[in-house]
Amino acid sequence: MSLSTLYLRLRYPRHTFGPGFTGPWRLRIRGRGRVSFGRDVRVRNASGQTALLTFGADARIEIGDRVEIDGAGLMSASAIVVGDDAILGPCLLVDTDFHAVGRERRRGGESVTRRPIRIGRNAWIQGKSTILKGVSVGEGAVVRWGALVAGDVPAGAVVMGNPAVPVAQP
């Protein structure tokens, strides 16, 4: 076990780090929610600082086995689940708007919409991509550089653009 991994385990005792986890000293985990990493997860900050943020005690971020993360920002108010063998580049995953959307946004106390995000096994989310609330990215799918994903991505598909559209199907 590397010194940085030992440091992270001591710094964040209420989060779960699976066997074989490796991560940088400057990994940011903030919030009252829970973060769990599976086996052999590798986190790096080569493309930017990786940050895992939870908003509320019930929020959770679950990272599967053998996932690679480099410079990603995961912001969860409900749940973000990343499947085994996925790759997250310097992207953003956010499961809430943090405020009401539409005309009701001007009224105080309006409820905020939260919907979980699911990233399938072996999916690849490339840099500058944004995955919005309620999106499921299917197994083996690729979200290309800079895509804005507001709807589900089928298994094996390749999507790109703003808004993201399929450019290759399985």
Q: Which residues are tagged catalytic? A: 99
Alpha-carbon span 101 to 164, nearest angstrom = 21
Neighbours of 21 (CB within 10 A): 20
Residue 145 corresponds to which tokens in the numbers above?
Answer: 């550089």
What is the H or E stretch that residue 71 is in? none
Q: What is the CA radius of gyration of the chain?
A: 16
For residue 165, the one-letter residue type is V
Residue 56 corresponds to which tokens in the numbers above?
Answer: 């509320």
